[in-house]
A = this chain, B = another copy of it.
Amino acid sequence: MEKVREIVREGRRVGNEDPRRVVHAFKVGLALAFVSSFYYYQPLYDNFGVNAMWAVMTVVVVFEFSVGATLGKGINRAVATLVAGGLGIGAHHLASLSGATVEPILLAIFVFILAALSTFVRFFPRVKARYDYGVLIFILTFALISVSGFREDEILDLAHKRLSTVMMGGVSCVLISIFVCPVWAGQDLHSLLASNFDTLAHFLQEFGEEYFEATEDRDMKEVEKRRRNLERYKSVLNSKSNEEALANFAKWEPRHGVFRFRHPWKQYLSVGALLRQCAYRIDALNSSINSDMQIPMDVKKKLEEPLRRMSSESGKAMKEMSNSLKKMTKSSSSDIHVVNSQSACKTLSTLLKSGVLNDVEPLQMISLMTTVSLLIDIVNFTEKISESLHELASAAKFKNNKMKSSSKSDSGSISSAVPIKSHDDDDDDDGHVVTILSDVVTSNNDDHQSHGVSSVDSCHHVAIEIVDDDSIHEKHEEDSTNIHVHTSRVSCGITNASGLLDSGDKKNLIIN
């Protein structure tokens, strides 16, 4: 009894996690009941007889959760059945020419060779990814037809009937999966990526709060809840296989909704991989919240301003990217936050150069520096992710946002104004800073600078003015078409772990 209740609870959990699962179960039941009725509908039965069972088998085996997976399996099965049927009849014909004693031996040899070859081919990574099921069905059908021991005219009839029933089963599956509450793998991949952006953004926006607040006087339950909420990012760490499977299925899907047939699903995987790299850093950062507990708050506070800004601005950038992904627009609204986080990086390095940490204990220093370096990494990753998303946006032909953006910028001597929003929880500084980024080196030189080597000396990034909120806003809107920020010059001076990634040459980003 306890066992039954547990199963029911588990069922409810699985259903709540994704209600489409319940719908899917109903769809399979429907398809199967429909195909089973072939046995009873007399004209059909007369035609196909026992072969109607192949329709049932096809439905059970082919019907998958998403349209892409169902289509993929259906097409694999249909093509494999056709090819293997043809080959099987050929083999049967060839063997039958050789007389009654040699025939079975010859057929066994054919089966052996084709089965061994096909089984070996299934180990090819590319075949395994997309055609594994097809090769399986190929072996199966070939073996069944070539050895079936019937006369040839019978076999042709058999092959015809089997193929028709497989088609009927397959087509029912595909139609039901497309027209009854369809689950598109492509849509799922798109949403998964957007939600991964969201969870990382959430962590980064909350990190400052969590790292710099004393936890002693807070409600334990509250803390627990915040903690659990923060650690939602952990799902991103293991999203690789899921993303790959979805992308694989999505490739089979026809045009649906906003997605074209050849939507650049591969680029989704690149963005996803970068996000995951970033999530690894966040994972380490999360554990540093715990291990840095022993660092006195007054030591931490020395770096509070830039660290908070680095994480919150990266978080905002991610949030903006998530929004533009969800709306499928080409938006550059995240770029400004990327630049802001990089400027905070620069502030941090100035602060560190000023020797503010000279009297800190070495062991605390190691711990603190690890946090610092992780945040720098994350800022760098945010830029890479933003670039990768821009590539995705242009490959997928996302709509342009209302604001105009020129697609090419002549680099060279660039001087531009960027508003930096102060974060809300910083009371002593309510004004907004305009930062002048001046870059006197032409971009041709830096595009060739080797990746992974830091450019400590190449930051020309100075905050010069404090103005109030409204006037910035105006300035920003007026100048929106001709503000160019050459982000590759505003790098933080330290690049960690960049050797991992094959991101291409840095690009000029345009802020508007």
Residues of A within 8 A of B (CB): 10-11, 14-15, 21-22, 24-26, 28-30, 32-33, 36-37, 39-40, 45, 53, 56-57, 60-61, 104, 107-109, 111-113, 115-117, 119-121, 123-125, 136, 139-140, 143-144, 147-149, 238, 240-241, 280, 283-284, 286-291, 293-294, 349, 352-353, 355, 357-358, 361-363, 365-367, 369-370, 372-373, 376, 452-454, 456, 493-500
Most chain B CB neighbours (cut-off 10 Å) among A357, A362, A376, A493: A362
Contact of A14 among B124, B355, B498 (CB under 8 A): B124
A294-B453, A363-B352 as given contacts; A32 in contact with B111, CB under 8 Å: yes
**In the bound complex, do residue B109 and residue A499 qualify as a contact, i.e. CB atoms below 8 Å apart?**
no
A453-B293, A499-B290 as given contacts; A112 in contact with B365, CB under 8 Å: no
Shortest C-beta distance, A294 to chain B (Å), equals: 6
**In the bound complex, do residue B362 and residue A373 qualify as a contact, i.e. CB atoms below 8 Å apart?**
no
A32-B112, A119-B24 as given contacts; A136 in contact with B60, CB under 8 Å: yes
Q: Cα distance A5–B28 when bound, in Å? A: 43
Contacts of A104 in B (CB 8 A): 37, 40
**In the bound complex, do residue B353 and residue A362 qualify as a contact, i.e. CB atoms below 8 Å apart?**
yes
Copies in the complex: 2
**In the bound complex, do residue A111 and residue B494 qualify as a contact, i.e. CB atoms below 8 Å apart?**
no
**In the bound complex, do residue A61 and residue B144 qualify as a contact, i.e. CB atoms below 8 Å apart?**
no
Contacts of A367 in B (CB 8 A): 373, 494, 496
Chain B, Cβ-Cβ closest to A286 = B499
**In the bound complex, do residue B113 and residue A29 qualify as a contact, i.e. CB atoms below 8 Å apart?**
yes
Shortest C-beta distance, A295 to chain B (Å), equals: 10
Q: Cα distance A372–B497 when bound, in Å? A: 15
* Nearest 5 CB-CB pairings of A with B: A352-B362, A29-B116, A369-B369, A25-B120, A287-B497
Q: Cα distance A125–B17 when bound, in Å? A: 12
**In the bound complex, do residue A124 and residue B10 qualify as a contact, i.e. CB atoms below 8 Å apart?**
yes
12 CB-based A-B contacts, threshold 8 Å:
A10-B124, A28-B119, A29-B116, A32-B112, A56-B144, A56-B147, A287-B497, A352-B362, A363-B456, A365-B365, A366-B376, A370-B370
Chain A binding surface SS class: helix
A287-B499, A372-B366, A496-B287 as given contacts; A36 in contact with B358, CB under 8 Å: no
Chain B, Cβ-Cβ closest to A31 = B115
Shortest C-beta distance, A496 to chain B (Å), equals: 5
Shortest C-beta distance, A9 to chain B (Å), equals: 11
A40-B104, A104-B37, A144-B57 as given contacts; A115 in contact with B29, CB under 8 Å: yes
**In the bound complex, do residue B363 and residue A28 qualify as a contact, i.e. CB atoms below 8 Å apart?**
no
**In the bound complex, do residue A39 and residue B366 qualify as a contact, i.e. CB atoms below 8 Å apart?**
no
**In the bound complex, do residue A40 and residue B500 qualify as a contact, i.e. CB atoms below 8 Å apart?**
no
**In the bound complex, do residue A14 and residue B116 qualify as a contact, i.e. CB atoms below 8 Å apart?**
no
Most chain B CB neighbours (cut-off 10 Å) among A28, A61, A119: A119
Contacts of A120 in B (CB 8 A): 11, 14-15, 21-22, 24-25
**In the bound complex, do residue A116 and residue B25 qualify as a contact, i.e. CB atoms below 8 Å apart?**
yes
Contacts of A148 in B (CB 8 A): 39, 53
Shortest C-beta distance, A87 to chain B (Å), equals: 15
**In the bound complex, do residue A143 and residue B60 qualify as a contact, i.e. CB atoms below 8 Å apart?**
yes
Shortest C-beta distance, A71 to chain B (Å), equals: 18
Shortest C-beta distance, A3 to chain B (Å), equals: 13
Q: Cα distance A280–B454 when bound, in Å? A: 22
Shortest C-beta distance, A133 to chain B (Å), equals: 11
Q: Cα distance A37–B32 when bound, in Å? A: 33
Shortest C-beta distance, A300 to chain B (Å), equals: 15
Q: Cα distance A353–B107 when bound, in Å? A: 80
Shortest C-beta distance, A280 to chain B (Å), equals: 6
A120-B25, A143-B56 as given contacts; A32 in contact with B115, CB under 8 Å: yes
Contacts of A288 in B (CB 8 A): 496-497
**In the bound complex, do residue B361 and residue A365 qualify as a contact, i.e. CB atoms below 8 Å apart?**
no
**In the bound complex, do residue A366 and residue B366 qualify as a contact, i.e. CB atoms below 8 Å apart?**
no
Chain B, Cβ-Cβ closest to A241 = B241
Q: Cα distance A57–B147 when bound, in Å? A: 13
Contacts of A24 in B (CB 8 A): 119-120
Q: Cα distance A452–B11 when bound, in Å? A: 36
Contacts of A113 in B (CB 8 A): 29
Contacts of A497 in B (CB 8 A): 283-284, 287-288, 291
**In the bound complex, do residue A33 and residue B144 qualify as a contact, i.e. CB atoms below 8 Å apart?**
no
Most chain B CB neighbours (cut-off 10 Å) among A148, A373, A498: A373
Shortest C-beta distance, A310 to chain B (Å), equals: 13
Contacts of A453 in B (CB 8 A): 290-291, 293-294
